[in-house]
Amino acid sequence: MMIEDVIKKSILPLAFMLFWFWMVSTIMKVSGQTDLFWWIFLSGLPFGIHKMRLVLIPKGMDITATLGMAALSVIIGALIGSIMIPVYVIRAVYVFLRYIIGK
């Protein structure tokens, strides 16, 4: 495994995650404290939207139903992402350790 692979698969994803978590915790501060539910929800948003294989768009409905289904898709994507965050962290640490031990 080359160092470029380790940087691409381990260091950059972890750096992005740390930056995203810091940014969301800064945004979600209410009177000096971070709301944990919204922090987990918004932290999972970029990691879960692309994992959804289906975005629900109703056919033949009005604009309210379409917006409601889009909001439901975002909520489901954020929940999937909040579950997938530990998987991404474990995978990045595994790649990094495999490179360190294998060398």
Summarize pLDDT for 5-57 with one digit per residue, the tens.
889 989 999 999 999 999 998 888 888 888 888 888 888 888 888 777 776 77
Rounded (5°) CA angle 69-40-37? 85
DSSP letter at 11 equals I
Global pTM reads 0.76
> Residue 67 in 3-state DSSP?
helix
